[in-house]
């Protein structure tokens, strides 16, 4: 049996109310008032599609041994690197084996379902054993555009395998058309869209319906056989029309999370699927469709194994952990749309020295420390000579992963001098449960809500943005678990 | 068997520039200014100096590397010049080199000079880039010195169950005291009296440190000429001789940053180095034997916890001593008698020698009545370079018999 063995989700902490957007920039385009319902999830200043993919990947590893992963597919239309395997960064950050096949899937917001299909194919044909698919997007809409209102940021991850399958893959049907409802050129920052009526009537209405019908016909099944039907489409009128034409009941029509997250591009069908799995029961049948330059449709049957799945936050959990970003200009600055002056201190040029990063890739990108085989002391960064003064054994270390460990805040501060897009820069000493201590930046928190002794977990984040070379560098930050206080 | 530096070296002369925003002066001006005062005080000719040690830290901003800037600015006549750097202990490191050379009997008369020209960066605070190596760029927190030292306060508050408000009271008293002392000193960078109330109301730099909890970033230089006590006595028949009683240092061993045995409330290095310094100087009860101190008050909280690490205040009891005025100018052990880093200023590579200068002029009764410390015989200087979790500590004790 081939199918989904585990899954995870990620929604960034900050939510921007669409009315706030309209209040600030709605004067330019009054028509965007039609999109002001709900809020959209937005990346923190130190997040992008890679960091969100890692966060969802970590969520999907709950109860799944990371050493079993043999493939890693990353789908996104907002990958930080054009050349440098983005999936390679995700792989290092997730601490999975070097002997994996990794690939980036991009070019269309259907890339998420396409990556999932490729993984299912590789696993079914026994080329690979367990493949993780991470899909993540943070697409930019130009200020005052409908896309600014519509698009949100989130990620989902699935482990596809043949053992302990929770959702059996039953089949798929795909179509491909060079249909351009929206596009981004080689150097464009913002998504551009053709007339909405055309997108609705020709794109969604025709192509999703053709593909889903194709699937139903291919396997001789009916839409009403599905407990949930998952497809992205933000237009309520079109959904209604499509549902009635295909025979999808309102109960089976999965909510598209437009009011809570927004349209998350290549990740969106998978984000919706992850949120369906949060509620699924054995026997449930799920139809999943991804749309963009054509359409993919896949069907799954939920198995008994879903009852044995370890606890994870999932999309449902992340939706609860939110904080309002009540400041539109802060959002613009975080996304690099509004250039702000962070002072001369931030202007010192430091190129990334790739040979150093290569030597230290496990320590920096993976947050691997080590543990002394003689005295058992866990330590970060990796040491040759044991840091325990009573031991000091030389070269008797084994690798030890810190990214999955929790810790406690030993000391902290909020620093107004350090250049930051979210001042004050909050950081402090973290003592890990199980040993090890290091000074980390804190994120997704504010100074007022944290105190010493508070628990933290680790999150992979953008460490720096090199504007001269237009690249980002990554490291780990500590996230105070405010909800658990 | 080695028996330390005590009484093997005497200070023949010292000099110190005015510290401050010396927009008009370059690094060579500052070195020349400190040196000329030092040479005149020593009462010797330049050619009698046999070797020199130059201390400077952020040299890429001003002088560049090596001993060449000192040799060429002062025209030292082809003598050996060593350049040393050890963060805020840089000048003490230069002093140590000079003293060790004399104590070893290699030279009779040696110059130590520390200098820093910081006010050419265009922004406040110290430059960070490169100070901790490239690896910090990849994995270090987006931190600054105030933010790292500020954490002493949250850790201390949590460990000793002293409310943050009380810590703010104590550190405000510390800064107010240093401002009062600095106001009496024409060479100090900041010469204004500031009330504790004003200190508490100042804008926050890094919680709980406000603007007045941070020391000045200054330009300046200080110098000493050292020799043997015998030569000093032969050259200065009618005055007290100031002798070196101890020079000690300690460098972090990785435990504070990466092991769980450090509580973040003080400096392991200072505890170790000061204990060794008292032993070298023959001091058994520092709280009752020391007469004055210049300590590393880069931030008010640093001075606060240092009082415990120097074994002057008991652990968890610095608050009482500070609030009772134990370290005020008229207290039992006046601290920062010239204004400290806080107000005299902190040109990193000059600070250690500036502190020794402050002790030296008190020991020789060269200060005006208003800031004179009665019957001063022993003074301690203390530098702390780096950050609480990874640092170097350098100490000296000087005195007259």
Q: Which of B124, B206, B255 sits opposite A414 (nearest CB)?
A: B206
If you average pLDDT over every residue of chain A, what do you get? 96
Q: Chains A, B: CB contacts under 8 A, how many?
A: 135
Tens digits of residue pLDDT in A85-114: 999 999 999 999 999 999 999 999 999 999
Shared domain check, A424 and A328: no
Question: Other C-beta atoms within 10 Å of B77: how many?
Answer: 9
DSSP string, A117-134: HHHHHHHHTTS-S-EEEE
Q: At residue B128, does pLDDT exceed 70?
A: no
Shared domain check, A301 and A217: yes
Reduce the DSSP state of residue B263 to 3 states and report it: coil
| Residue A395: inside a domain | no
DSSP string, B290-326: --EEE---SBHHHHHHHHHHTTSSPTT-HHHHHHTTT
Q: What pLDDT sits at residue B6? A: 98
The domain boundary, picked from A285, A306, A334, lies at A334
Tens digits of residue pLDDT in B220-274: 999 999 999 999 999 999 999 999 999 999 999 999 999 988 999 999 999 999 9
If you average pLDDT over every residue of chain B, what do you get? 96
What average pLDDT score do residues A28-33 get?
95
Q: What pLDDT sits at residue A206? A: 87
Q: At residue A482, does pLDDT exceed 90?
A: no
Distance CA A11, CA A32 (A): 24
Q: Which of A348, A381, A427 sits opposite B147 (nearest CB)?
A: A427
Q: Do B137 and A464 touch (CB under 8 A)?
A: yes
Distance CA A392, CA A475 (A): 28
Q: Confidence band (pLDDT; 50, 70, 90) for B126?
A: confident
What average pLDDT score do residues B307-311 get?
98
**For testing the chain B interface, which of A45, A376, A439, A478 should be mutated: the one with the most B CBs within 10 Å?**
A439
Reduce the DSSP state of residue B139 to 3 states and report it: helix
Distance CA A462, CA A483 (A): 23
Distances (CA, A) of A254 to A15, A228, A271, A288, B389: 21, 6, 11, 10, 52
A417 in B contact zone (CB under 8 Å): yes
Q: What pLDDT sits at residue B187? A: 97
Q: At residue A231, does pLDDT exceed 80?
A: yes
Shared domain check, A307 and A422: no
Q: At residue A485, does pLDDT exceed 60?
A: no
Shared domain check, A413 and A319: no
Q: Do A439 and B155 touch (CB under 8 A)?
A: no
Q: What pLDDT sits at residue B127? A: 78
| CA within 13 Å, CB half, A66 | 20
Please name the helix (run of DSSP H) or strand (run of DSSP E) that holds residue A333, with its range, or none. helix A328-334
A361 in B contact zone (CB under 8 Å): no
Distance CA A432, CA A405 (A): 7
What average pLDDT score do residues A125-144 get?
97
| Residue A137: inside a domain | yes
Distance CA A441, CA A414 (A): 10
The domain boundary, picked from A277, A311, A334, lies at A334
Which residue segment(s) compose the domain that A125 sits in? 3-334
Residues 132-151 (B) with a CB less than 8 A from some CB of A = 134-135, 137-144, 146-148, 150-151
Distances (CA, A) of A30 to A22, A35, A107, A262, A483: 8, 10, 31, 20, 38
Tens digits of residue pLDDT in A37-83: 999 999 999 999 999 999 999 999 999 999 999 999 999 999 999 99
Please report residues of A whose CB lies closer than 8 A to that of B205: 415-417
The domain boundary, picked from A334, A360, A383, lies at A334
Distance CA B267, CA B146 (A): 16
The dotted CATH code for B10-122+219-242 is 3.40.47.10
The residue count of chain B comes to: 401
Tens digits of residue pLDDT in A280-330: 999 999 999 999 999 999 999 999 999 999 999 999 999 999 999 989 999
Q: What pLDDT sits at residue B260? A: 85
Tens digits of residue pLDDT in A165-209: 999 999 999 999 999 998 999 888 999 888 888 888 888 888 999
- CB under 8 Å to A217, separation ≥6 — which residues? none
Q: What pLDDT sits at residue B401? A: 84
Q: What is the end-to-end Cα distance of chain B in Å, rounded?
A: 25
Q: At residue A412, does pLDDT exceed 80?
A: yes
Q: Which of A428, A453, A464 sits opposite B151 (nearest CB)?
A: A428
Give ipTM to 2 decimals.
Answer: 0.93
**For testing the chain B interface, which of A413, A425, A434, A459 should be mutated: the one with the most B CBs within 10 Å?**
A413
Distance CA A195, CA A204 (A): 13
Shared domain check, A432 and A320: no
Please report residues of A whose CB lies closer than 8 A to that of B151: 411-413, 428-429
| Residue A146: inside a domain | yes
Q: Determine which one of B88, B214, B298, B393 is catalytic.
A: B88
Shared domain check, A308 and A434: no
| Residue A390: inside a domain | no
Shared domain check, A329 and A411: no
Same fold yes or no, B10-122+219-242 and B145-214+244-400: yes
| Residue A180: inside a domain | yes
| Residue B38 is a catalytic residue | no
β-sheet bridge partners, residue A157 = A8, A134
| Residue A372: inside a domain | no
Q: Confidence band (pLDDT; 50, 70, 90) for B129?
A: low
| Residue A365: inside a domain | no
> The domain at B145-214+244-400 falls in which architecture?
3-Layer(aba) Sandwich (3.40)
Q: At residue B111, does pLDDT exceed 70?
A: yes
| Residue B88 is a catalytic residue | yes
Q: At residue B363, does pLDDT exceed 60?
A: yes
Query: Which CATH number belongs to the domain containing residue A34 in this structure?
Result: 3.40.47.10
Distance CA A425, CA A421 (A): 9
Q: Do B138 and A447 touch (CB under 8 A)?
A: no
Question: Other C-beta atoms within 10 Å of A65: how many?
Answer: 8
Q: What pLDDT sits at residue A39? A: 98
Tens digits of residue pLDDT in B72-89: 999 999 999 999 999 999
Positive or negative, the Cα torsion across A241, A245, A248, A249? positive
Tens digits of residue pLDDT in A244-254: 999 999 999 99
Tens digits of residue pLDDT in A370-403: 999 999 999 999 999 999 999 999 999 999 999 9
B70 burial (CB, 10 Å; 0-12 / 13-18 / 19+) is buried
Q: Give me the number of domains chain A comprises.
A: 2
Question: Domain segments of chain B: what residues?
Answer: 10-122+219-242, 145-214+244-400
Shared domain check, A411 and A264: no
Q: Which of A348, A418, A438 sits opposite B147 (nearest CB)?
A: A418
Q: Confidence band (pLDDT; 50, 70, 90) for B132?
A: confident
Question: Other C-beta atoms within 10 Å of A124: how many?
Answer: 15
Closest by Cα among B3, B15, B5 to B361: B15
For residue A466, what is the nearest residue in chain B, using CA coordinates? B137
Q: What pLDDT sits at residue A484? A: 60
Positive or negative, the Cα torsion across A334, A339, A340, A341? positive
Q: What pLDDT sits at residue A205? A: 84
């Amino acid at each position: 049996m081939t199918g989904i063995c585990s899954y995870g989700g990620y929604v960034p902490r900050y939510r921007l109310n669409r009315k706030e957007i309209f209040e600030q920039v709605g004067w330019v385009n009054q028509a965007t008032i039609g999109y002001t319902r709900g809020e959209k999830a937005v990346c923190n200043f130190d997040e992008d599609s890679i960091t969100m993919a890692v966060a969802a990947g970590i969520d999907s590893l709950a109860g799944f041994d990371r050493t079993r992963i043999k493939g890693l597919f990353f789908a996104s239309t907002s990958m930080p690197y054009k050349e440098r395997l983005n999936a390679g960064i995700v792989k290092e950050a997730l601490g999975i084996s070097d002997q994996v096949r990794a690939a980036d899937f991009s070019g269309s917001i259907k890339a998420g379902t396409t990556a999932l299909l490729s993984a299912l194919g590789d696993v079914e044909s026994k080329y690979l054993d367990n493949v993780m698919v991470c899909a993540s997007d943070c697409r930019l809409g130009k200020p005052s555009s409908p896309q600014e209102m519509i698009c949100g940021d989130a990620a989902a991850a699935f482990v596809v395998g043949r053992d302990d399958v929770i959702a059996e893959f039953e089949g798929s049907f795909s179509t491909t058309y060079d249909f351009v409802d929206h596009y981004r050129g080689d150097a464009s920052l913002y998504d551009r869209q053709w007339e909405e009526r055309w997108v609705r009537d020709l794109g969604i209405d025709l192509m999703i319906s053709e593909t889903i019908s194709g699937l139903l016909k291919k396997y001789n099944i009916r839409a009403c056989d599905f407990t949930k039907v998952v497809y992205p489409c933000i237009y309520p009128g079109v959904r209604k029309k499509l549902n009635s034409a295909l025979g999808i009941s309102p109960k089976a029509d999965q909510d598209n999370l437009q009011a809570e997250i927004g349209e998350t591009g290549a990740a969106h069908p998978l984000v919706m699927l992850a949120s369906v799995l949060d509620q699924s029961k054995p026997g449930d049948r799920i139809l999943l469709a991804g749309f963009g330059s054509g359409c993919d449709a896949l069907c799954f049957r939920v198995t008994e194994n879903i009852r044995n799945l370890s606890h994870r936050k999932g999309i449902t959990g992340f939706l609860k952990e939110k904080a309002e970003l009540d400041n539109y200009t802060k959002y613009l600055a975080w996304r690099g749309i509004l250039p702000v002056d962070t002072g001369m201190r931030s202007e010192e040029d430091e190129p990334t020295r790739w040979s150093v990063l290569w030597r230290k890739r496990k320590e920096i990108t993976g947050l691997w420390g080590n543990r002394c085989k003689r005295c058992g002391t866990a330590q970060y960064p990796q040491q040759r000579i044991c840091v325990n003064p009573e031991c000091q054994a030389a070269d008797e270390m084994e690798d030890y992963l810190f990214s999955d460990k929790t810790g406690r805040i030993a000391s902290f501060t909020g620093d107004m001098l350090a250049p930051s897009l979210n001042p004050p820069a909050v950081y402090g000493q973290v003592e890990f449960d199980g040993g090890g201590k290091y000074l980390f930046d804190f994120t997704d928190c504010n100074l007022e809500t944290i105190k010493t002794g508070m628990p933290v977990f680790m999150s992979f984040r953008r460490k720096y943005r090199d504007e001269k070379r237009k690249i980002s560098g990554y490291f780990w930050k500590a996230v105070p678990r405010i909800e658990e206080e | 068997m080695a028996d330390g530096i005590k009484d093997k070296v005497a200070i023949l002369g010292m000099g110190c520039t005015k510290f401050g925003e010396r927009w008009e002066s370059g690094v060579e001006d500052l070195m020349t200014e400190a040196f000329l005062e030092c040479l005149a005080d020593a009462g010797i000719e330049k050619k009698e100096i046999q070797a020199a040690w130059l201390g400077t830290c952020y040299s890429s901003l001003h002088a560049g590397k090596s001993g060449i800037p000192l040799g060429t600015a002062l025209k030292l006549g082809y003598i050996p010049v060593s350049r040393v750097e050890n963060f805020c202990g840089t000048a003490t490191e230069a002093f140590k080199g000079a003293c060790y050379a004399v104590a070893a009997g290699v030279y009779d008369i040696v110059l130590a000079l520390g200098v820093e020209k910081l006010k050419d960066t265009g922004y406040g605070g110290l430059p960070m880039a490169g100070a901790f190596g490239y690896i910090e760029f990849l994995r270090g927190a987006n931190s600054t010195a105030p933010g790292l030292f500020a954490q002493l306060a949250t850790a201390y508050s949590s460990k000793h169950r002293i409310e943050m408000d009380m810590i703010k009271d104590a550190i405000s008293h510390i800064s107010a005291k240093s401002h009062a002392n600095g106001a009496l000193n024409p060479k100090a960078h900041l010469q204004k009296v500031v009330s504790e109330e004003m200190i508490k109301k100042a804008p926050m730099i890094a919680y709980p440190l406000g603007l007045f909890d941070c020391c000045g970033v200054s330009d300046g230089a200080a110098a000493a000429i050292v020799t043997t006590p015998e030569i000093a006595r032969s050259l200065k028949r009618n005055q007290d001789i100031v002798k070196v009683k101890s020079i000690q240092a300690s460098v972090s061993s990785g435990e504070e940053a990466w092991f769980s045995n450090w509580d973040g409330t003080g400096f392991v290095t200072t505890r170790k180095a000061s204990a060794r310094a008292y032993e070298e100087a023959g001091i058994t009860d520092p709280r009752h034997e020391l007469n004055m101190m210049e300590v590393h008050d880069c931030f008010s909280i640093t001075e606060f916890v240092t009082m415990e690490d120097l074994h002057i205040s008991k652990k968890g009891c610095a608050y009482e001593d500070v609030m009772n005025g134990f370290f005020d100018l008229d207290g039992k052990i006046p601290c920062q008698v010239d204004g400290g880093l806080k107000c005299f200023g902190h040109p990193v590579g000059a600070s250690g020698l500036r502190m020794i200068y402050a002790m030296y002029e008190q020991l020789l009764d060269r200060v005006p009545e208003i800031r004179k410390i009665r019957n001063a015989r022993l003074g301690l200087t203390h530098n702390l370079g780096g950050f609480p979790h990874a640092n170097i500590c350098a100490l000296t004790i000087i005195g007259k018999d």
